[in-house]
Amino acid sequence: MPKRRGLLLVVMILLGCVVFYSLHADENDKKRFGKVEVIRDTWGIPHVFAETDEGAFYGLGYATAEDRAFQMYLSLRIMQGRLAETVGNIPKKNRRRGNALDNDRRMRTFGFFRAAKTVAENIDKESRGLLQAYCDGVNDYIFKNTDDLSYMFKKYKVGPEPWTPADCIVVWWHMAQFFAGDGTRDYIHYRNLQNPDNRRFRPAAGLADDAASVVKRSDVGDEWVKKIGEFLKENGFEKPETLKSINPEEGPKFSHAWVVGKDRTTTKSAVLCSDPQTTVTNPSLFYEYHLKGKTFNARGIGVPGSPIILIGWTENVAWGVTALGADQADLFRLKTDDEHPGQYFFNGEWKKFKVIKQKIKVKKEKPVKLEIRETCFGPVVTEFSFMQRGEGEVALKRIPMCETDRETIQGAIKMMRAKNAAEFLKGLGDWRFPTANVVFGDKEGNIGFSTIGAIPLRSPLASDGGGGAHDGTDGIYDWKCIVPAELYPQVINPKSGYLFSGNHRPIEKFYPSSILGISTGSQGDTVRSWRLRELHAAKESFTPQDVLNIHLDTVNPVKRDLVRFGLHLRDVQKVQLSSNVLSALKILEPWYKSGASIDLTNEGSALAQHISTNFRMFATQLALKHGGGQSGLCKWLKELQNRIAEDPKAKLDRLEVQYIQNALTAAWRTAQSRYGRDTKKWREAALEEVTYKALGYYEGLDGFPSLDPEKDYEYPGITCTDGNTIKSQGGQSYSQWVPMHDVDSAMSILPIGQSELPGNPMRWKTYRLWKEGKLHAAPLSRKAVEKIRKSTIILPRK
């Protein structure tokens, strides 16, 4: 009986939403869409061809809802703070990271959805109109095809509510937040500044590997550098070089992308590849689509529920994105006392908190009360900010919530309409969240790079370059402004003829990165950017196929060189090595000499994949000399390469010998413990181990477990699982290759497939291609799309 009542409730909710939507849908609005066709290709990808831009967005909304409606609403409810209401107070897979109720308290307190509603009301008329067209498409599908929606709606008793422009905005933020800091650890740094500990590692000045930077001083003009100085001086930074740099952490490791320009390609047009390396999920985090309206013809990937293209291309420009993780959030220390309850001190007076009282519904449990306090900076977030007893209250000011009249969709539209690389660069200025590195190229062969995202300029009075929690008692400590986009690190047509990003240092140290908020902790190369540099430097001229071949590279240069220098210790320096190291080198020597591919089809790779790349001070004092993390490790190994190139008999010092021995010893012991003592069986065991991992149904980046284990699926037998290789299949959430001389020959893949529906053949359509390391056709013209057409519908449907 309870089950019947539950099903009846869902039916009533759905019927109510249908009536609501039918009453409020303006039939006259549909005339503005014109003719809209949605062609599905062999892989289930929707190609929307429309007479108007609004029609293209409408068709995209319709197709997305058909494929991913439940995923859209799940993301929405996570951001609204309604997850516990939907799935119950389930714990995260790592229970120490909290549960659904913790998520809801955090999301409601931070105010993502409150801000999204305000932004949706305030953005320009065209952007809102396009978002509304997308929503109309979503709602037309959902409320006219209730019987075709995922069974998950009934399983979790979710009645879909009309999709709104605010929903589009906040589900974009859902994805974006994973590639941005949230500011909640700023008080830890402030505390450390107040209580200095000489034992705490801080990178020494001068450790930056300038040669690894994307933007070189020689590639930018004096006038641009002068404008940066003038801007800083106008905002109170008289001597910016005297300010300290914040103590950086390693930035996010998300994606690699590269582009080769007209001076280095055989076609004289740009050729671009992009691999957003995030965990492959079931269904995919991303959604692949193609939409052609009156003023654009674009395809690529976004997230279900939002029409923003993250990575993609048009007839004129292709682009790829990697995570930057620049600082867009700060804590402000509030002054409160018992004599002024419900107030905080600011600008010489006591101000009242704005109090918002809410109830969080929890499935099968009583509602939980929540009180949110807001300040002129933003919400009070003390309970989420790792505070110690007696340290007071802190408020959070954060992009995107504090920008209430602009949004990333505005930049995305300009990017889709750009006719060339210069116009594309200009359009990037309206991108807000998250921050990212963008590489791009056009059909004329021009290429470019820029960092993007709204970056606040901190007060010149902020301590340690703004890395710690700020004084919240006076406006003089507040943000000065948002840094103008034209002053972000950027370059068009560098002397090298190519550009790439692997989450490494974006610009040389002549640029005041810490002051302008671009500092992300990368002092130089990452493992992947080092390898990309090697591959691009190895050729003078590239065919489009040469550019694609880089995508298939399976060499981790750090592990390769640690083996190389291990052999140097054994054969040249004649160091007394342990039996474990000698045993490891016996297997790894032929692996190294055959190309050092970490792909598990190669002998020795099962052992090589376990070579440690931990390069922190607690692991080795080499980090004090070269810097910690990947950038320090790469810097040391590149310097060691040069030393041995100059003197083949060069001797490594005690710390270097120790690090290499420890890395090889740890690899040997790990392989033995996981695969057994018979080394001939290691490769087979390593391949089998890959398939043990499950792709949990609706397991996203939030950390919650599968919502239906019966629909989980095992990993395919992928063979390149090292996340620091370019191929890195374990993180191949999407790939694209675009030769701009012939965009119809472009190729892409979105593992595991387009649909979330278990019975839909498109749910697993790219699973086999992913396993095999292949891409599929990704054309742009109507003529080429027709060749791979599987179905066509005309919208709006009656």
Q: Does pLDDT of 211 surpass 80?
A: yes
pLDDT score at 9:
44
Q: In this model, does residue 253 exceed pLDDT 70?
A: no
C-alpha 517/C-alpha 328 separation (Å) is 8
Give the SS3 label for residue 397: strand
Contact 406, 432 (CB under 8 A): yes
Average pLDDT of the residues in 595-606: 97
Residues linked to residue 447 through DSSP beta bridges, in sequence order: 441
Provide the mean pLDDT of the chain: 93
| Cα–Cα nearest to 409, from 161, 212, 122, 153 | 122
Q: What is the pTM of this model?
A: 0.94
Residue 5 has pLDDT above 50, yes or no: no
pLDDT tens per residue, range 300-356: 999 999 999 999 999 999 999 999 999 999 999 999 999 999 999 999 999 999 999
* Model pLDDT, residue 201: 52
Pairing assessment for the beta strands 713-714 and 735-739 based on DSSP bridges? unpaired
- pLDDT on residue 242: 37
- CA-CA distance, 595 to 535, in Å (whole number)? 13
Separation in Å, CA 533 to CA 267, 273, 558, 726: 21, 14, 13, 12
Give the tens place of pLDDT for each residue, 530-551. 999 999 999 999 999 999 999 9
**pLDDT score for 23:** 40
Task: Read off the pLDDT band of 2 (50, 70, 90).
Answer: very low
Banded model confidence at residue 11, pLDDT cuts 50, 70, 90:
very low
Q: pLDDT value at position 371?
A: 98
Burial class (CB in 10 A: 0-12, 13-18, 19+), 127: buried
Instruction: Look at residue 363 and tell me whether its pLDDT is greater than 50.
Output: yes
- pLDDT at residue number 30: 64
Instruction: Please check whether residue 504 is in contact with residue 524, taking contact to mean a CB–CB distance below 8 angstroms.
Output: yes
Residue 642 identity = N
Looking at residue 254, its pLDDT comes to 65
Q: Please check the confidence at residue 235 and state whether its pLDDT lies above 70.
A: yes
Closest of 20, 12, 8, 361 to residue 162, by C-alpha: 20
Categorize the per-residue pLDDT at 517 as very low, low, confident or very high, splitting at 50, 70 and 90: confident
Range name among 249-253, 459-463, 702-706, 738-742 with the lowest pLDDT average: 249-253
* pLDDT band at residue 244 under the 50/70/90 scheme: very low
Of all residues in the chain, the percent with pLDDT exceeding 70 is 92
For residue 29, the 8-state DSSP code is G
At 553, is the secondary structure helix, strand, or coil? Answer: coil
Confidence of residue 785 (pLDDT cuts 50, 70, 90): very high
Sequence spans of domains, the chain = 557-690
Given a cut of 60, whether residue 117 has pLDDT beyond it is yes
Average the pLDDT over 573-600 and give the result: 98
pLDDT at 219: 96
What are the residues whose beta carbons fall under 8 Å from the beta carbon of 667, sequence distance 6 or more? 584, 607, 608, 610, 611, 612
